[in-house]
Structure 1
Amino acid sequence: MSHDGQPGAHTYNTETVGQEPSRENQVRGKGNDMELQWIIVKTGDTLPRIASAYRMTEELLCALNPEASAQPYLLAGQMLRVMPGTGRRYAVPPGESVHQTAQRFGLTEYQLREQNPELAGIQDWSGCCIHIPEAGGDRIVNIKGEYGYRELMKDIQRLEARYSCIQSGSIGTSVMGKELPYLRIGNGPRHVHVNASVHANEWLTSPVLMRCVEEYAAAYHSDEMWHSSDPKRWMQETTLWAVPMVNPDGVELVQEGVVNHHMYASRLLEWNGGRAHFTHWKANIRGVDLNDQFPAYWEEEVARRGVASPGPRDYAGTAPLTEPEAQALVQWTQQHDFAAVVSLHSQGQEIYWNYRDLEPRESAPLSRKLAKASGYKAVKLGGSDAGYKDWFIQAFGKPGFTVEVGLGVNPLPVEQFDDICVEVGRLLTALLSHGSREEGSSDRR
């Protein structure tokens, strides 16, 4: 990613490859001149990010650059061919107003006009070919190819600038010195914590949690309901603390590999069995599985796993809490009186709520409530130790949940993002409403 945040910011020799469009299909407005351009790859660029930035499909980008698509990861400095697209286009039929067009695509008239500035002086758009932005185009949290640490930090700044109810800070730093940010929303006495991306290839959980925080804040500021609940009541009764990316070094590894002079390259390649692809990697940058790092029957988890050295997954380290990411999460949790915690993982659409019968009595019924809200299945899990929710239940005797979002193979396809956001949003709504005066009054009724 270049310093200005635009993938492949340098564009070189433009080469027109298309022909004049057929007159019978021509409409007013800008046409697609089908130009090939050369760009220079920057550190942090990936094929999905570049394709998204130029409004291309990843398949077209790979077809134009077969040599690059055959590489495990892109190299900074290599040149790629791109064919900038226009996104969704629409030919406005006769008699359709701008307002009607906007309604057709679930947009406001302002959003539609903002995305088509070349038509600012034209009232009648009949016969015009216009650009249709994504629905909800004013949202801050979106996936543009992939969602990594750079996108996360930029979105946190924008969310905090737009919504006064959101505050941010840091719980510590990763092995490679990245800040581990948190977001806080609400001022109530009941504190709830949710974290995401403990495992590197489960990075989709980060934008899911970020989108949920954004939707909560947006509903509060616009005085609207969120999943049929009133955020204003939560503001008074609860405080939500979100740590959206516990393992930023690992997420970066999964998405960008160890090219471009990565400081851990030789060791990571060795731990990965010589494989250049890291899409299956769950651990942190030192090959330690962070969700096996917590002091909750850690020795038994080590014996069960049987993994004696760093690698992509299941190595618990030489002792509990050797890794700065796990240390930071434990110390930060100890500083807060959380009523409940949730750790977002993928995949399976399941909710794990118990730990060695140490969980409080309310955990089982609360898990069923979360399952009903999200459509997931509440599961009583055995034969697992040393996870974050395990440690929290053992240390504090309060409800802790591991929520496995989505279905498929990690990293989950971004096409599941919107559905998972709805599912997790409903789950958080149920969790934030649990024990509230509103819930109590409805129960009595």
Structure 2
Amino acid sequence: MKKKLRVILTILISISILFSACGSKELENGDNFRKSTWEEIEKSGQGTEVYFYGWGGDPKINSWIDDVLAKEVKDKYNITLKRVPMNIDEVLVKLLDEKNLEAEGTIDIVWINGENFFTAKENELLEGPFLEKLPNGKKYLDLNDVELNYDFGFSIDGYEAPYGKAQFVFIYDGEVVEKFPKDHEEFLQFAKVNKGKVTYPAPPDFVGSAFVRNIIYDMVGYEQFINMEPDYEVVKKEIMPAIDYFKELKPYLWREGKAYPSTMAQLENMFADGEVIITMDYNPNKASRKISDGQFKSTTKTAIFQKGSVGNTHFVAIPKNATNKEAAVLVINEIISPKMQASKYDPKVWGDLPVLDNSKLSSEEKKLFDNVVLGKATIDQSILLDNRLPEMPAKLIPIIEKIWEEEILK
């Protein structure tokens, strides 16, 4: 299904080149929005509806949007926030289709990231820059932070606002695993000792792909990838030590590496059932959340490699043809408020890492985060930030996934 959507997306992108920009009504709407003061935006956006499109696969995230964020914007602005679950590939197809038909927009906010953001921005599907309009952005964000200016290597230029942060972690049962491996070499030995009890999701699963990149970083570093051209042979030559490593690791994995979990969710279930002794995630608070939900044992712990782990920031954006941009920025401004960032930081609620600059918070605002009970399975945020490695440019990731598939799955 995902490959089919990518084919449709490619066709629509080609078609969009043949069409002129959206109609005068949309251009006028955007021009008025860009010229509006914050006071005018607040007045215009109140008492309206906002349609928030994004991945809907996590009940906790859905509940945070529906029950916490929606209540906040309803109380403050009388805005009715309507969440629409949709995979990002389908969102891009929808936006391109609306653009080509010069149709009125149906999406006000979209949860977006990486190459999908690049595709949307390059095809003029997004409104911007708008980050500079947000009072909470100026007040609480470090606008010079590289992670807030580049999304998987793509320049943001104010067309996105940060939503939260993620960082790759390993999750294991401390009752079974006395000491977690500190690097790729120890991980291989660990797999040999625990033959058949270790595995990882097959790329392009998001977490499985992150595991592959984390091994690559641990073996060959990351600096050379930052400005690397997306050339298949160049990338393959650089990551071959890691590919050879995955080949050596393969026979000691679950089912001797002849099959891999297709998703992170499948691996989580295998871990919860005791079929394997580790899992992994891009949310450092996931283990504590699963413990509190009764899905993981109380002895569950979290770990990262000694050299660090891959991290990224996820974002929200406003479609260029959105019909309610004023209310959309009001909602986004609340998303990056200390109150909302602290609420979703709680593992029982979501566990999403905050995007705010701690040095810009008042004593009372800092207490919002200090009062969050992270749980004993969570690594302290300061340790995570000190060991955070930058994401690889998005254009390299499909190449790495293709090489992994060709070399490891054959």
Give the TM-score normalised by the residue count of structure 2.
Answer: 0.25
State the structure with bigger RCO (CA 8 A, min sep 6), 1 or 2: 2
Give the TM-score normalised by the residue count of structure 1.
Answer: 0.24
Q: Would you tell me which structure has more helix in proportion to its own residues?
A: 2
User: Based on CA coordinates, which of the two structures has the bigger radius of gyration?
Assistant: 1
